[in-house]
Amino acid sequence: MAKFSQDYRPIFADCDSKYDLKPQTLLAWACELAGDHLRSRSITREDMWDQRQVFLLTTAAMHFDRVPVYNSPITLSTWESGTKGARFVRSFDAADGDGNIVCDLQTLWVLVDPQTHSLYRPAEYKHELDVTDIPTVAQVQKHRVCAEESVKDYTFVYSDIDANGHVNNGVYLRLLADLLPATHADRHFGDIYVSFLHEARQGQTVSLYVAQTADSFAVVGKFPDGNVCFEAEAVFQ
């Protein structure tokens, strides 16, 4: 199976003031599609939980030729792209109604024991990978975000938490968008990088630091002990 695909149509609530699809919505769709892909191969989340092996997203890179927009259908596709060290690589692309690729994603995942959070090596995965060699423009590379201007503290609330009991990955992209300066807010995203370094839970607080150039904006969230919770950076078209 080269690709696993589903059709989507951004509704009003999925979009920002420019009618662009919010990146956190795209990431949510991608994560759900990844699960549906595994389920189509009879690898269910419930079975993996019983086997004490679950995937956690650690890093995502997005590239937009065009940002999907309100009420315009897209076909989102995913495939397994192999492994990189201890991480599993999964890729995605989105095509418009004419079949043109408008954006793509590359993501890295780790396989962990949900009870102990210990890390498994790819060789310990209880299922087979179905690796497909389809390149994406988006590429996860070694990248550290430098942001030193402190802007605010943020305490995670109930609505930030997902069924895994920790802050949903999309929240960090929402914080990136929420902090965009007026000089950047009306521009379209070109590339986005986000890394989830330490999970957060309801009631925990991070200090948010930002940095910007003429064509980019970055946010880093740090816990009070100095450990980095997440890093995110956007480059604009």
DSSP per-residue codes, 62-115: EEESS--BTT--EEEEEEEEEEETTEEEEEEEEE-TTS-EEEEEEEEEEEE-TT
**pLDDT of the residue at 227:** 96
Strand runs labelled E in the chain: 4-8, 54-64, 74-84, 87-95, 101-112, 149-155, 189-196, 205-212, 216-222, 228-236
The pLDDT of residue 148: 86
Q: Does 1 score more than 70 pLDDT?
A: no
| pLDDT confidence bin for 77, thresholds 50/70/90 | very high
pTM summary value: 0.94
- Geometric angle at alpha carbon 57, from 59 and 38, rounded to 5°: 130
Q: Is the pLDDT of residue 60 over 70?
A: yes
